[in-house]
Amino acid sequence: MNIDPRPSVIGERLSRVKRVIAVTGWKGGIGKSVTASTLALLLAKKGYKIGLFDLDFAGASDHLILGAKGLFPKEEKGLEPPVYEGVKFMSVVFFSENKAVPLRGANVSDAIIELLAITQWGELDFLVLDMPPGINDAALDVMRFARGAQVLAVTIPSVLAHDVLDRSLELYKKLKVPVLGIVENMAAKPGPRSVRRDPALERALGRPAALLKTRFASDLSAVMRRLHVI
């Protein structure tokens, strides 16, 4: 009988991480990756020990949002993520040469489990996961192995997006996955969970200092304070 040792290894890798936030979205183009990357920068600016893990094989983009170039993890009894702007950063793009990865469902899941098993995070206050899109084997495996992770759901003010959000949250509820809260991106007006549409956001991408000065970052920080994260 072949017993996969990776689940126990993943538990060891995450044993010194105090809190895991899984930033999740169930439709494309809603700002999941910008939310994950900005949240990591906001937490690092507050002085927390932060890790950011881009697990989106279909469209890894955190490295572009951060402007992180020329980085690669060091090999030291596994992989040690490079530190960028105070954030320990790991991404599937390190191994794909910034190209599309031709993997099918089971192979994507296996690759993510492998990355979770070999990455050395050390001691962290927060690990922010930029999740695989949707609710599929890959996403469910991440939640299964990153035990105690809380879902931060990103949506937009759209009837279709909210319908998908409601159905997805209901499934997570049945699976007993803890939900930290909801961020409604591209909102027209302020609200307790709203991040307003910010025309300056696009120009700030790739420049962390500029990104942290945007209205997007300010609104996201306010939402995170209400959720008792920051």
pLDDT category of residue 46 using cuts at 50, 70 and 90: very high
Number of domains composing the chain: 1
The predicted model gives 31-55 an average pLDDT of 97
- If one counts every other C-beta atom within 10 angstroms of the C-beta of residue 166, the result is 11
Q: Label residue 103 by pLDDT band (50, 70, 90).
A: low
pLDDT score recorded for residue 53:
96
pLDDT at 90: 96
44: enclosing H helix or E strand = helix 32-45
**What is the DSSP annotation of 179-206?**
EEEEEEEEESS--TTEEE--TTHHHHTT
Strand ranges of the sheet holding 50-54, from the earlier edge strand across to the other edge: 83-84, 87-91, 50-54, 126-130, 20-24, 150-155, 179-187, 194-196
Q: What is the pLDDT of residues 116-134, one digit of tens each?
A: 999 999 999 999 999 887 7
154 DSSP β-pair partners: 183
How far, in Å, CA of 13 to CA of 15, rounded? 6
Q: Residue length, the chain?
A: 230
Q: Assess if residue 1 is contained within a domain.
A: no
132 vs 52, more confident: 52
Q: Is residue 142 part of a domain?
A: yes
Residue 86 belongs to domain with CATH number: 3.40.50.300
Whether the per-residue pLDDT at 215 is higher than 80: the answer is: yes
Does any domain span residue 196?
yes
Residue 43 clears pLDDT 70, i.e. is over it: yes
Which pTM was predicted? 0.93
Q: Is 135:141 a contact under the CB 8 Å cutoff?
A: no
Q: How much is the pLDDT for 105?
A: 61
Is 101 part of any domain? yes
Please write the tens of the pLDDT for every residue from 177-193: 899 999 999 998 888 99
Q: What is the pLDDT of residue 141?
A: 81
Evaluate if residue 168 carries a pLDDT over 90.
Answer: no
Confidence of residue 97 (pLDDT cuts 50, 70, 90): low
Q: Per-residue pLDDT for 24 more than 60?
A: yes
The residue segments making up the domain with residue 167 are 6-60+67-226
Contacts of 124 (CB under 8 A, 6+ apart): 16, 17, 18, 49, 50, 51, 88
Q: Quick one: pLDDT at residue 99?
A: 66
